[in-house]
Structure 1
Amino acid sequence: MYCVTVIYPRAEDGHFDFDYYRNQHIPHILKLLGDNVQRVELRRGLQAVDGTPAPFHCLLNTHILSAEQFQSVMAANADWVANDIPRYTNLQPIIQIDEIL
């Protein structure tokens, strides 16, 4: 099994619309990925352990069965994904695919 991790680093001039991301963007992505998705976890960064603002606005973990299928779907829908990002943030996401051990 694999986990796609998407994080949005906090920036001084950054904004993030959780309502749009949670209610529009993620459901569309999940529909595209279909049965490949096993579990999704969305987290909003609140604070670091020292009480300062969290280093990330948002963290998304999507557990999938096939990294290849994920990459294929994302490549086929790259324009839609890129065009949708400005609807909820001006931040550049960091994305990685992890193997769950």
Structure 2
Amino acid sequence: MIKVSAYYPYTDGVRFDFDYYTTSHIPLCQTRLGCSRVEVAKGISDANPNDPPCYVATADLYFDTVDAVHEGFKAHGRELFADMPNYTDCKPQFIITEVLD
């Protein structure tokens, strides 16, 4: 199982529209990329509950193979990245990992 994780860094005043993200962008990702599962999380705090989270949001997209990841993003990456201004003004960080369960 391959996981693509998107981390959206928290900064003061960051804009992130969770409603748009969960009802429009994530379904678009699922349709275009063909991922088998998606998990979205909202940052609450850092390890110290008085500090803001490192990330305002994270998303994990699951695929059967790394080739499926690369093929999906090659075919639809521009469209998905062009949608980002509709829900955020921050630049996400990405990592592709293999789940070792």
| TM exceeding 0.5 | yes
What per-residue deviation string (whole Å, max 9, x for no partner) do you get for residues 40-98 of structure 1? 11100001121111110001111210111111111111221121001100100101110
Structure 2: runs of 5+ lacking an equivalent: none
Partner of 1:63: 62
Q: How many residues end up aligned between the 2 structures? A: 99
Cα-Cα RMSD: 1.1
Partner of 1:25: 25
Partner of 1:89: 88
Structure 1 runs (4+) greater than 6 angstroms displaced: none
For residues 63 and 89 of structure 2, what CA distance do their matches in structure 1 show?
27
Q: Identity, % of aligned pairs?
A: 29
Given candidates 41, 48, 51, the residue that maps to 1:50 is: 48
For residues 79 and 64 of structure 1, what CA distance do their matches in structure 2 show?
19
Q: CA deviation at 1:11?
A: 1.3
Task: Give the TM-score normalised by structure 2.
Answer: 0.91
For residues 77 and 60 of structure 2, what CA distance do their matches in structure 1 show?
19
Structure 1: runs of 5+ lacking an equivalent: none
* 1:26 aligned partner, one-letter code: I
Partner of 1:6: 6
Q: CA deviation at 1:6?
A: 0.5
